[in-house]
Structure 1
Amino acid sequence: MSRFQYVLFDLDGTLIDSAPAILASYRQAFAATGRAPAVTIDESIVGPPLIETLHILAGTKDPQVIDELAGHFKASYDTTGYRETAAYEGVAEMLRRLAGSGRTLAIATNKRLHPTRLILDHLGWSGYFKTVYALDLFEPRLPSKAAMIARLMADHDIPEHVSVYVGDRSEDGESADANRLPFFAATWGYGSLVPEEMATHWRAFASPAALTEALLND
């Protein structure tokens, strides 16, 4: 039997293609405030937390500006925008097989908790995951993805030697390293890691099917 009994997943760019919905809501937020973004709103900005991304897009950390933009973003994304989220091909089957094999699955994402739960419900995936962690699950907000993974593992008594983290960005790999977890890179998403970004001990997978086989059989 595979040693990977606990599989922790990133969400955006790993399980779901959320870029079109997220980008549309960012554009609506800037249009609603009459502000022009300081940088181009494209797939390169998807992944970091909302406020951090707004700092980049707005070119300022002014709380009044950021709060206004965040309010418009949430009003768009949390009502109808999230419904445009699509699952990557093969991910639903991967989750079905992993859950059916008795693996324990969890989410550790930079996405806010509320839309994360909405999306999982929308896709019919909520039942696959034992728990869902986001930076804003706790007050005060968790400082980093590495801290979030550590908290998830501690709260649920998840041992590192039978666990793995799956993500699509270098931050995900570094967060796995910080918690002494193997990192499996999902290279099918928009945050795809290129070879020069990959640490030598990380493993890359070009499809959910290939990742599934590794998780079940390695």
Structure 2
Amino acid sequence: MKKHLIFDLDGTLIDSAPSILHCFELAFRSTNTPLRMALGNEVIGPPLMETLKRLSGSEDAAVLNTLAAAFKQHYDSTGYQQSVVFDGVPAMLQQLKAEGYALYIATNKRFDPTEKIMAYLGWQDFFAGVYALDYFSPALKSKAHMIGRVVAEHDLKIQDCLYIGDRLEDGQSAEANLMDFVLVTWGYAGDVALRQPHWQCCDAVPDLPALVAGLCVDNAL
């Protein structure tokens, strides 16, 4: 039976794309660094330094660190407040919590702005744990490792857990931990056709609790 629901954040619970893309634009402009690719939703999701490498076309640590500092200055001060909650998400989280599920967040977003977003939205009481790659020391290298650490930190059983995210990487990270996965399509899923056939797919926020409940029944049979 699924008891523990682990959520991605960007593209799953919040639409952070406009604020993140704006802060990337400000970071490159303020440091006079040329952008090597267009800013679009496809750059949302991976860890910050990985995205900066793609956007700058550079592996130079000095360039990347300068860009990262500029991005953090903009995003961590006010940019994170521009994140938009997807319609129906607060009610959905409230319903799942009321039905007895333990909720967690495991995101590639840095922990500092993640924590600020939780406080800004008043979501602290929804979640039994909020995790990011840099929550751990040393920082973890992948979301797959992070999901594994969340399971270990709370002494969970894999068969009792479900990961919920909007990108193919989310599904692959769940797969690496032998964990069931739900792909939500209202975020930045991109080519949903590439999803694994055994992944569940959810097209509307209000439908998620029923889908999760159905998985619980199926797994109990």
- TM-score bracket, shorter-length normalisation: over 0.9
Q: Which residue of 1 aligns with 2:187?
A: 189
Q: How far 1:193 sits from its partner (Å)?
A: 4.5
Q: Which residue of 1 aligns with 2:29?
A: 31
> 5+ residue gaps in structure 2?
216-221
Q: How far 1:191 sits from its partner (Å)?
A: 2.7
Secondary structure, in 3 states, of the residue corresponding to 1:44? Answer: helix
Q: Deviations over 1:42-66 (max 9, x none)?
A: 1111110000000000100101000
185-194 or 42-51: bigger deviation: 185-194
Could you state the TM-score of these two structures normalised by the residue count of structure 2? Answer: 0.95
Match of 1:82, as an amino acid? Y
Match among 88, 100, 103 for residue 102 of structure 1: 100
- C-alpha contact 2:28 2:35 (8 A) present in aligned 1: yes
Percent identity of the aligned residues?
A: 44
Secondary structure, in 3 states, of the residue corresponding to 2:70? Answer: helix
Q: Which residue of 2 aligns with 1:5?
A: 3
Q: Deviations over 1:59-89 (max 9, x none)?
A: 0010100010000000000000000001111
Q: How far 1:11 sits from its partner (Å)?
A: 0.5
Q: Which residue of 2 aligns with 1:114?
A: 112
> 5+ residue gaps in structure 1?
none
Runs of 4+ in 1 over 2 A off after TM superposition: 190-193
Q: Which residue of 2 aligns with 1:205?
A: 202
Report the Cα distance in structure 1 between the residues aligned to 2:171 and 2:44, rounded to whole angstroms.
17
Q: Deviations over 1:189-215 (max 9, x none)?
A: 1234522x1101101100111111112
Match of 2:135, as an amino acid? L
Question: CA 1:193–1:120 in structure 2 vs 1: closer, same or farther (change >3 Å)?
Answer: farther
Match of 1:99, as an amino acid? K
Match among 134, 141, 149 for residue 132 of structure 2: 134
Q: Which residue of 2 aligns with 1:78?
A: 76
- C-alpha contact 1:8 1:105 (8 A) present in aligned 2: yes
Q: How far 1:140 sits from its partner (Å)?
A: 1.5
Report the Cα distance in structure 2 between the residues aligned to 1:54 and 1:135, rounded to whole angstroms.
16
Report the Cα distance in structure 1 between the residues aligned to 2:191 and 2:57, rounded to whole angstroms.
26
Q: How far 1:121 sits from its partner (Å)?
A: 1.3
Q: How far 1:188 sits from its partner (Å)?
A: 0.8
Aligned residues: CA RMSD: 1.0
Could you state the TM-score of these two structures normalised by the residue count of structure 1? Answer: 0.96
Match among 153, 159, 162 for residue 160 of structure 2: 162
- C-alpha contact 2:167 2:188 (8 A) present in aligned 1: no
Match of 1:58, as an amino acid? S
How many residue pairs were aligned? Answer: 215
- C-alpha contact 1:98 1:216 (8 A) present in aligned 2: no
